[in-house]
Amino acid sequence: MIIGLTGTMGSGKGEIVRYLKTKGFECHVYSDILREIAKQRNIEPARANLQKLGASIKNKSKNKGILSRKLLKKIKTDKAVVDGIRNKDEIAELKKGKETYIIGVTAPQKLRFKRLRKRKREGDPKTFHEFKKLDNLENRGKTKGQEINDCLKMADFKVMNNSSIEQLKNKVDKILETISS
């Protein structure tokens, strides 16, 4: 079984990944593949550079879900979570393989910005104005290869992460119960 995560930046996808790891899920992240390629090409792994790199790779390939194909090759177990789905083609490619479920994760914009500031990841926006601008571009598909809203519409399950980590875990447990039944 593969669980694919899509959602807005800072929505809590990483928290879900950490939780699923405690349940024996193997984890793979789309941006890690791009970071590996960026390193080989001496490209700084900033968010904007990774987005451009991903778009370039997809544009040069006949298969727009090429990053999913690369991720699928890395999966070694029966239970895997893939984080960072950004476009419909990635979902379509994932669904060609094993039993796959997509979880769409969202949270209010101000809360997401607060979380980003706390995690201090390289390339994250520094001001709320920068965050809103990037968020709107990514969600509406205006950033190359980023179609978050479309991916959220395709999700098999939706999670609003606007509370505690414990409540988020409870929501994930309910999804796992539904999948297992």
Q: Which of 147, 159, 122 is nearest to 54 (CA)?
A: 147
- In CATH terms, the fold of domain 2-173 is Rossmann fold (3.40.50)
Spell out the alpha helix ranges (H) of the chain. 13-22, 30-40, 47-60, 66-74, 88-96, 109-119, 128-139, 148-154, 165-180
Q: What is the DSSP string of 32-44?
A: HHHHHHHHHTT--
Report how far residue 109's alpha carbon sits from residue 167's, in angstroms, rounded to the nearest whole number.
Answer: 19
pLDDT per residue as tens digits for the range 123-136: 778 889 988 888 87
What residue segments make up the domains of the chain, in order of their start?
A: 2-173
Q: How confident is the model at residue 62 (pLDDT cuts 50, 70, 90)?
A: confident
- Tens digit of pLDDT for each residue in 79-132? 999 999 988 999 999 999 779 999 999 999 999 999 988 887 777 788 899 888
How many angstroms separate the CA atoms of 144 and 122, rounded? 20
